[in-house]
Amino acid sequence: MRRKKFNRDTGKIEADMTSMIDVVFLLLIFFMLATKFKMPEGTLRTFLPKNRGDSNSRPMMSETCRVTLMMQGNSVVAYADQALVPTSGLLDSDFEAYTGVPGPDLDFIQDHILLRKNTFVPLGDNPTLPVVIDFAENVPYKYVIDVLNIVYKLELDQVRFAMPENPYE
Amino acid sequence: MARKKQKKMPEGVEMDMTPMIDIVFLLIVFFMVVTELTVQQAVVVLPVASESRVEEPQAGSRILFVNVSFDKNGKEMMQLLNGAPLTADRLLVELKAEAQAYGVWEDNPYNPETRLSGLEVTIRCDQGVGAGVIHKIFAVCKDAAIYKVRCAAIGERFEDPYSDQP
């Protein structure tokens, strides 16, 4: 096997780089094709309350804003307190484009919570308006996160999730 | 047909390959470092939430990822990382064991008889999954004395996650 060649003109011994470059380019192409850049994932903080004891559903005495999400057929129906949230006329998200079913108007929910926030009178251990998100188990998770996102956008940090009697079922 | 005369390089002139090899090696090292060859997480289409924050884990903290996605038959399933599918009861056993193994406990100011685990749980749930699973995971975390729970989301999406689906 020829590993080094003698250059008569310069009098130097040179290594043949061709095969190494072949392998290196092969590796480069492999890694370029195999690489998939990962999108940075964030989180929304949903820390569980420490002071709930063993009770899953303790009645809340203070003023709250309640957003209810439920399914009717294939559509998500939302209520902001007692107000029925109109359906968005557009397929706003990739999920809605995929299912072909528009979701509730998120701007309506945001405006409603903002109105409640602005008229909220701080009381006792609730310096900001507590928001309760009450959702049926078959509502797509996306809509729960949409409501949670609105709550954080309005700088409200007291979020509660309404829990069913037996969540394990 | 007349063929072009090949230009001959003057004898004794050689291309210096060193800078090219340097760059190629640099690229290889870069791609080797950023490539994830093993799948550490289940494939999940996370929901988009503009308010989601990328938080750097604190030194010594431990975060467990609970993935909720669809299996091959389109059925919802829960996993720890990309492990075997778990029921809520099994997840409770696993989380209790993880909390014990982690061994960091905090006093509960509201109930001095109980302690809360310092373990953190991040729920990576597919946006199309029924949200009832969140009830289950919250209940499991509560029963495992874990209160630091977060829901994963991405700030912005640049490609359609359903483009390869019918």
Q: Is A48 on the interface with B (CB under 8 A)?
A: yes
Arithmetic mean of pLDDT, A12-30: 84
For chain B, give the mean pLDDT: 86
Tens digit of each residue's pLDDT (9 = 90 or more) over A73-82? 989 999 999 9
Cβ atoms B119, B102 nearer than 8 A: yes
Residues from chain A contacting residue B154 (CB–CB below 8 Å): 39-42
Which of A35, A41, A50 is opposite residue B46, by nearest beta carbon? A41
Do A144 and B132 lie within an 8 Å CB cutoff?
Answer: no
- Nearest CB to A138; choose among B111, B130, B142: B130
Nearest to B130 among A9, A140, A168 (CB): A140
Between B123 and A167, whose confidence is greater? B123
Q: What is residue A116's predicted lDDT score, i.e. its pLDDT?
A: 94
pTM score, whole prediction: 0.79
pLDDT of residue B163: 79
Burial of A2 (0-12, 13-18, 19+ CB in 10 A): exposed
pLDDT tens digits, residue range A89-129?
888 888 999 999 999 999 999 999 999 999 998 877 778 89
ipTM of the complex: 0.79
pLDDT at A168 over 50: yes
> Which pLDDT does position B38 carry in this prediction?
59
CB A93 within 8 A of CB B45: no
d(CA A107, CA A87): 11
Interface membership of B142 toward A (CB under 8 Å):
yes
Q: A138 or B111, which is more confident?
A: A138
> H/E element holding B78?
strand B76-80
- The mean pLDDT of chain A is 84
Residue B89: list chain A partners with CB under 8 A.
168
Runs of H (alpha helix) within B18-163: 18-34, 88-102, 132-143
Please give the helix or strand (H or E) that residue B153 lies within, else none. strand B146-153
Q: How far is the alpha carbon of B120 from chain A, nearest alpha carbon, in Å?
A: 9
Q: Does B25 touch chain A (CB under 8 A)?
A: yes
- pLDDT at residue A154 in the model: 95
A 115-144 residues with CB < 8 A to B: 135-144
The DSSP bridge partners found for residue B78 are B68, B86
Nearest residue of A to residue B49, measured between CA atoms: A149
Q: Which residue has the higher pLDDT, A136 or B60?
A: A136
Q: Is B64 helix (H, G, I), strand (E, B) or coil?
A: strand
Kindly report the nearest CA distance between residue B98 and chain A, in angstroms.
18
Q: Can you tell me the mean pLDDT for B136-162?
A: 91
Q: Angle at Cα B85 formed by Cα B79 and Cα B90, nearest 5°?
A: 85
